[in-house]
Amino acid sequence: MPSLDTLAFDNGFARLPETFHSRVQATPVPDPYLVCHSPDALGLLGLDADAIRHPKLIDALAGNRLLPGMDPVAALYAGHQFGHYVPQLGDGRALLLGEVNGWEIQIKGGGRTPYSRGGDGRAVLRSSIREFLCSEAMHALGIPTTRALAIVGSDLPVYREDEETAALVTRLAPSFVRFGSFEVFYYRNQPEPIRELADYVIRRYYPEFAGLDDPYSAFLHEVMRRTAELMADWQAVGFAHGVMNTDNMSILGLTLDYGPFGFMDAFDPGFVCNHSDTGGRYAFDQQPDVGAWNVTKLAQALVPLMSVEAASAAIQDYPQIFSQAYVARMSAKIGLTPGGDTVGLLLDLLELLAANRIDYTIFFRRLCDFDSAPGAANAPVRDLFLDRAAFDAWAARYAAALRQGGAPDAERRTALRAVNPKYILRNHLAETAIRRAADQRDTSEVARLHALLTRPYDEQPEYDAYAAEPPDWARKIEVSCSS
């Protein structure tokens, strides 16, 4: 197992011409301290659990020193933000340090870069804790995502709505290239960098397409497919991203850039988790269509490499792929195959959940124990509803479908517990952990939540309170783009 001094750092992205990035040194923070870390993510780099305690690594993750082989760069990109094209964005507070074992290592909050656009380039403890916890929680849910290695904090003051303290979150991904990485060169009318970046991405991450007559169409189609599947994952688990700008869309189909995200409590198709999104562009029920819209912007950016017809053909199956993936995931959540009346049952169920404002996660977890016998009361699920008669009518149809084509109840209960999580990162849980860490430098709740959320499908009865409906005060929590 390598030590810190023998880690084999590489940086394939940094070897691209400086058209694509700027070399930047992080701005040090005073007295960095470890807030939390993910042993699982640490293992991806081939390091043992004790390595994270080494002052050299903490200093490196704070941006205060470089380990041998690190070559930090900030990437250039553009993007459509809330539907409007912004010609130059880029890593305004993130630095790609290098890569180890095929994982790019990026620190977020390392200070100003050429792309900071007047910002301070810092991240705060609040947003860093949220990103760390949600990245690892999404991975445990089986949803493609960037990973989070650690948070390093500092008492350096950072000013947002109020004075807060600085933190840096270390993110891992095979690549942080995003849709906007191509858009910036399309709108500058620079086709050669588009080709060079596409060739790099295909060579590194889609080598199966490299020998094709038209590798770019195949690449675009695969990114489209992964994006559609990712949207189905988000919708099935009740996750809203909050800022689905094209610069936040991964060319690997990963959940990227956790800001004002939110898991739904009471089911509301129009749920808006971002307080800044006053028009509801990125509402929960809009995410699949926004994913499709973003894919069209990527296709447009790649048109210099193919014909318009080829680009259109590469993305035309998005609605079908999303629909099939979503129906498959939702059917699994209720223990039925996608055929027959399953879609009708699902649509009626979602309407029923919305009308009764039922907690999305709690409902599906209780449904795991549904008794399909005729006349069964199913009180734990039924008692969630104000309109009991409407639930009874749906439950009778559901029970009949289970008896006709579902697995035996005992077998189905096991299967449903593997796809319906008991624990999600609810806003009030994150807020409690953040307050303790910020006010008292007590990071024990962050560690506890992290450990809990790495096993979201397990019962863990000692943590039942973490699976309950949110308290009344949680309704006042607002999450914005500054989060």
Mean pLDDT of 32-45: 96
* Mean of pLDDT over the chain: 95
Mean pLDDT of 179-200: 98
Q: Residue 445's pLDDT band (boundaries 50, 70, 90)?
A: very high
Beta strand 94-100 with 21-23: parallel, antiparallel or unpaired? unpaired
pLDDT for residue 407 is more than 90: no
Phi then psi dihedrals of residue 163, to 5 deg: -75, 130
pLDDT for residue 480 is more than 70: no
Q: Residue 2's pLDDT band (boundaries 50, 70, 90)?
A: low
Residue 194 pLDDT: 98
Residue 49 pLDDT: 84
pTM: 0.97
Q: Residue 477's pLDDT band (boundaries 50, 70, 90)?
A: confident
Give the residue among 284, 143, 126, 158 at the shortest CA–CA distance from 226: 143
Which residues are catalytically annotated?
Answer: 247
147 bridge partner residues: 172
Residue 297 pLDDT: 98
Residue 481 pLDDT: 67
Q: How far apart are CA 184 and CA 301, in angstroms?
A: 8
Question: Cβ–Cβ contacts within 10 Å for residue 414, how many?
Answer: 10
pLDDT for residue 5 is more than 50: yes
Residue-wise pLDDT for 357-405, tens only, equals: 999 999 999 999 999 999 999 999 999 999 999 999 999 999 999 999 8
pLDDT for residue 349 is more than 80: yes
Question: At CA 81, angle to CA 292 and CA 264, rounded to 5?
Answer: 65
Mean pLDDT of 225-244: 98
Per-residue tokens: 256 = 């990227």
Q: How many residues are given for the chain?
A: 483
Residue 205 Cα distances to 46, 198, 324, 410, angstroms:
21, 10, 25, 42
Residue 340 pLDDT: 81
pLDDT for residue 16 is more than 60: yes
Residue-wise pLDDT for 70-122, tens only, equals: 999 999 999 999 999 999 899 999 999 999 999 999 999 999 999 999 899 99
On whether the CB atoms of residues 99 and 12 are closer than 8 A, the answer is yes
Residue-wise pLDDT for 210-223, tens only, equals: 999 999 999 999 99
Tell me the percentage of the chain whose pLDDT exceeds 70. Answer: 98
Residue 483 pLDDT: 46
Mean pLDDT of 169-182: 98
Question: At CA 168, angle to CA 480 and CA 172, rounded to 5?
Answer: 95
Residue 1 pLDDT: 58
**Chain CA centroid to CA 16, Å:** 27
Residue 230 pLDDT: 98
Q: How far apart are CA 96 and CA 104, in angstroms?
A: 7
Residue 482 pLDDT: 56
Residue-wise pLDDT for 40-80, tens only, equals: 999 999 998 889 989 999 999 999 999 999 999 999 999 99
Mean pLDDT of 295-301: 98
Q: Residue 151's pLDDT band (boundaries 50, 70, 90)?
A: very high
Residue 88 Cα distances to 25, 242, 253, 395, angstroms:
20, 21, 22, 53
